[in-house]
Amino acid sequence: MGLLDGKVAVVTGAGGGIGRCHALALAERGAKAVVNDLGGARDGTGSGTVMADSVVDEIRRAGGEAVANYESVATMEGAAAIVQSAVDAFGRVDIIVNNAGILRDKTLLKMEESMWDAVIAVHLKGTFAVTQASARRMVEQGDGGRIINTSSMSGLFGNFGQSNYGAAKAGIAGFTRVAALELLRHRITVNAIVPVAKTRMTEDIAATPQEFVPELVSPMVVFLASDLAQDVTGRVFGVIGPRLCEYKYITTPGVAKSDGISSPEEIAKRFDDITRDE
């Protein structure tokens, strides 16, 4: 019996790279899969059906069940149609993996408004839109669900030339924590992963080793999608090639203002004490 038998999983941006690996891994463990992909270029331009259809064919050849969907996550109507495709094909939706993304890198001083808007729309609004549409369906079904979002090292730590992408990915990390709090009473878990893998999106980043293949990321997604993680929610996990970790915010002990800090000059004098983390 498979870990995800009887479950229906939707993976956005699943026509290649990490998303493809997620869809294959979920199907291998018994989930029926909706393979969503707009079929465009890395910058989000264009569209097509070949990428999603190819992954569906892979799943079916391996004995699994899958259907393709070609909607954009960047509109509320597209997001609703993605979730509806799962319901139409398989009667329900249990697992959402928000993976769709594009890149339009440019330094802050050269960033065009259209580049900012496009990246925010796909990553941040897309994650919101698909999460909202799927969560509403999961609440109606009444037996919980799993939502896995995709943040990034760029969002958590920053990366040169990616103010749009970093802002979107940081927003996804914050959105994940809020959604987890709100959906807890419905037994819907919401977590995020921060993957580092060599894909079409990262092919020109020399710092990402070739051996960091996208297949290394998907076991964490399958874990979070399963009942093994039924009590895990509101958390952000790193999958850095073969290494797994969790990202947490820390608060330094700091210094109380009652200790005599009442001016900018006194803050400067005590700055090391304020920021020291031990």
Q: What's the pLDDT tens digit per position in 164-198?
A: 999 999 999 999 999 999 999 999 999 999 998 75
**Does 277 lie in the same domain as 157?**
no
Q: What's the pLDDT tens digit per position in 128-178?
A: 999 999 999 999 999 999 999 999 999 999 999 999 999 999 999 999 999
Q: How far is CA 88 from CA 83, 151, 260, in A?
A: 9, 29, 65
Residue 102 has pLDDT above 60, yes or no: yes
**Does 218 lie in the same domain as 267?**
no
**Does 141 lie in the same domain as 257?**
no
Q: What is the pLDDT of residue 197?
A: 73
CB 62, CB 113: distance < 8 Å: no
- Confirm whether 2 is domain-assigned: no
Residue 263 has pLDDT above 60, yes or no: yes
**Does 221 lie in the same domain as 102?**
yes
CB atoms within 10 A of CB 251: 6
**Does 107 lie in the same domain as 81?**
yes
- Confirm whether 1 is domain-assigned: no
- Confirm whether 3 is domain-assigned: no
**pLDDT tier at 44, thresholds 50, 70, 90:** confident
**Does 270 lie in the same domain as 167?**
no
**Does 69 lie in the same domain as 191?**
yes
Q: What is the pLDDT of residue 214?
A: 87
Angle formed by the axes of helices 113-120 and 163-183, nearest 10°: 30
CATH classification of the domain holding 240: 3.40.50.720
Domains in the chain, number: 2
8-11 and 32-36 as β-strands: parallel, antiparallel, unpaired? parallel
The overall pTM is greater than 0.85 = yes
Sheet bearing 188-196, strands edge to edge: 66-69, 32-36, 8-11, 95-97, 145-150, 188-196, 236-240, 243-247
What is the Cα–Cα distance from 86 to 10, expressed in whole angstroms?
7
**Does 186 lie in the same domain as 54?**
yes
What is the Cα–Cα distance from 225 to 219, expressed in whole angstroms?
10
**Does 179 lie in the same domain as 115?**
yes
**Does 272 lie in the same domain as 175?**
no
**Does 278 lie in the same domain as 175?**
no
Is 247 considered catalytic here? no
Candidate list 70, 165, 247, 249, residue with the active-site label: 165
What is the Cα–Cα distance from 234 to 249, expressed in whole angstroms?
13
Tell me the residue range of the domain where 278 lies.
250-278
Q: What is the pLDDT of residue 47?
A: 80
**pLDDT tier at 116, thresholds 50, 70, 90:** very high
How high is the mean pLDDT of the chain? Answer: 93
**Does 275 lie in the same domain as 217?**
no
Residue 2 has pLDDT above 90, yes or no: yes
